[in-house]
A = this chain, B = another copy of it.
Amino acid sequence: MSENNATISGLRQISLGEEIISRINELAAISETPEHLARVFLSKEHRAAAELLLSWMRSAGMRADLDAIGNVCGRYEGLRDGLPREGLPCLMLGSHYDTVRDAGKWDGPLGLIAAISCVADLNRRGVRLPFAIEVTGFADEEGVRFASTLLGSRAVAGTFDESALNARDVDGISMREALKNFGLDPDHIGAAARARQELLAYLELHIEQGPVLERENLPVGVVTAIAGATRLAARLTGMAGHAGTVPMAMRRDALAGAAECICAIEEFCRTDAAGLVGTVGYIHAAPGATNVIPGEVSFTIDLRAPTDAHRKLAVSDIVRRIETIAKRRHLSLQLDVTHENRTAPCAPWLKAQVADAIAAEGFRVFELPSGAGHDGMAMIDIADVGMVFVRCRGGISHHPDEHVELADADAGARVLLRLIENFRSRDEVAVAASISR
């Protein structure tokens, strides 16, 4: 255990992990309904959560306020020439404070609360660094309310699409109206945008949302990239027929064709050594009766890989295989890309510092990609991105069973704190490298 959070002035102080878990629970109590955690963008729960986060930021010694999209923004000034100085470039830490419906309490809040606790720890110890630290609680990452994700981080990165303001939620309320009701000015979202030179880097701690760290028996891991994703919608059309009267050789069974495609997708991804994952999550067979050969089947394909080049190659290879299957079976095929997200690779110089912090905390350094999306996917447009993953039980996320052990939350926070205190900017790293050459 690092000595930082063991004692202060000789008194027992709660660990970073304990403080974080207490706050995780306090934040999780702010929900649309008490039974199921739900805190969607610009709701009154969202507003209450923002106020709580602002209060924590301020008590951690930060200046804190909402920005134009509802992000919670705290800033802890740095020190130059022995004196606090405003306007220094910042190391930005963050994660999101919206949730899916019937959510777990860790996805988003863990990274955000851990960052606030790290700053609070620095503040308690009177530590200031030669750069500012900003903590950003992104207002919308999940995209539940307006079916458009990363709204908070896109506003900060200056890539917010203004047409999204006209999107409406299930109750018919537009994002523009919702922003006004929240007390924000939809015509000034541009004011949330930050400039590249203001940021030294963007660092995020997040639960893994997968089972790999648990399998590796590790509390934390170094994220290599936030994998890009391509989603496709496939429709195979054959010929419906009586299950008893059409001989096997005369069938154009759309479901048998889809099954062959699903097996081919799985086989292709399973034999890939570079982290490609492919999922068919949705399928519908029509007419869908026990005694009728399916004439039409629709299914989705979700493909992710740690690099765009690898994913794109995989997509075209899988499309070719599906086309071949459809042709051989005399099925007509419609195949459309419905969604495409580029990969956000973590910067090598940041991965190295994450790895150093993990090693210094006494853990084996283990690298893994993030298959889930994160705010870094938007932040990469204005900053190099690094990420720390924390183990979550069973890899379960977006579910009330989502769980992080106290020891793991503490380990993650200590890694983050060490990262902050030992942080060297890209320029400093480059200078150090040139000296050592």
Q: Which of B277, B291, B302, B304 contacts A302 (CB 8 A)?
A: B291
Q: Which residues does chain B contribute within 8 Å of A229, judged by CB atoms?
A: 244
Query: 13 A–B contact pairs at CB < 8 A?
Result: A210-B242, A210-B246, A211-B245, A212-B245, A231-B290, A245-B395, A245-B397, A247-B275, A255-B283, A259-B263, A263-B263, A280-B294, A283-B285
- Residues of chain A whose beta carbon lies under 8 Å from any beta carbon of chain B: 208-212, 215, 227, 229, 231, 241-250, 253, 255-256, 258-260, 262-263, 266, 269-270, 272, 275-283, 285, 287-294, 300, 302, 304, 370-373, 395-398
Chain B nearest CB from A156 CB (Å) reads 23
Q: Give A250 to B371 CA distance when docked, in angstroms.
A: 14
A277 adjacent to B397 (CB under 8 Å): no
For this chain, the copies found in one complex come to 2
Kindly state the separation between the CA atoms of A259 and B301 in the bound complex, as whole angstroms: 14
Given contacts A209-B242, A210-B244, A248-B272, 16 further A-B contacts (CB under 8 A): A210-B241, A231-B291, A242-B398, A243-B281, A243-B371, A244-B277, A244-B373, A246-B277, A247-B277, A255-B281, A255-B283, A258-B259, A259-B262, A259-B266, A281-B285, A291-B302
Residues of B within 8 Å of A250, CB to CB, are: 211-212, 215, 395
Q: Is the CB of A282 within 8 A of B288?
A: yes
A263:B256 contact, CB within 8 angstroms: yes
Is the Cβ of A282 less than 8 Å from the Cβ of B290? yes
Contacts of A244 in B (CB 8 A): 209-210, 227, 229, 277, 302, 304, 370-373
Q: Select A242's contact among B276, B278, B371, beta carbons within 8 Å.
A: B371
- Complex interface: chain B residues within 8 A of A283 (CB): 255, 283, 285, 288
Are the CB atoms of A279 and B291 closer together than 8 Å? Answer: yes
Give the residues in chain B near A272, CB-CB below 8 Å.
248
Question: Once the chains are docked, how many angstroms separate the CA of A418 from the CA of B343?
Answer: 75
Least CB distance from A138 to B in Å reads 19
Q: Which residues of B contact A255 (CB under 8 A)?
A: 262, 280-281, 283
What chain B residues lie within 8 Å of A231 (beta carbons)? 290-291
How far apart sit A243 and B260, CA to CA, in the bound complex (Å)?
20
Cβ B281 vs Cβ A246 within 8 A: no
Give, as a whole number of angstroms, the nearest-CB distance from A110 to chain B: 15
Query: In the complex, which residues of chain B have a beta carbon less than 8 angstroms from the beta carbon of A215?
Result: 250
Shortest A335–chain B CB gap in Å is 14
A285 to chain B, nearest CB (A): 5
In the assembled complex, the CB of A270 is this many whole angstroms from the nearest CB of chain B, namely 4
Across the interface, name the chain B residue whose C-beta is closest to A227: B244
Given A253-B279, A256-B262, A262-B259, are A245 and B291 neighbors across the interface (CB < 8 Å)?
A: no
Residues of B within 8 A of A212 (CB): 245, 247, 250
Bound CA–CA A395/B295 (angstroms): 14
Given contacts A255-B283, A283-B255, are A246 and B211 in contact (CB under 8 A)? yes
Tell me whether A245 and B210 are in contact (CB under 8 A): yes
Of the candidates A248, A250, A263, the one having the most CB atoms from chain B within 10 angstroms of its own CB is A248
Residues of B within 8 A of A304 (CB): 243-244
Provide the residues of chain B in CB contact with A209, threshold 8 Å: 242, 244-245
- A242 and B104 alpha carbons, distance in the complex (Å): 14
Please tell me if the beta carbons of B292 and A281 are within 8 angstroms of each other in the complex.
yes
Report the bound CA distance from A211 to B251 in whole Å: 10
CB of A356, distance to nearest CB on chain B (Å): 25
Quote the shortest CB–CB distance from A13 to chain B (angstroms): 34
Closest to A263 in B: B259
A304 — nearest CB in chain B belongs to which residue? B244
User: Is the beta-carbon distance between A372 and B242 smaller than 8 angstroms?
Assistant: yes
Contacts of A208 in B (CB 8 A): 245
Taking a contact as CB atoms closer than 8 A, the residue among B280, B289, B370 that contacts A256 in the complex is B280
Q: How many Å from the CB of A328 to the closest CB on chain B?
A: 13
> Which residue of chain B has its CB nearest to the CB of A226?
B244
Are B300 and A290 in contact (CB-based, < 8 A)? yes
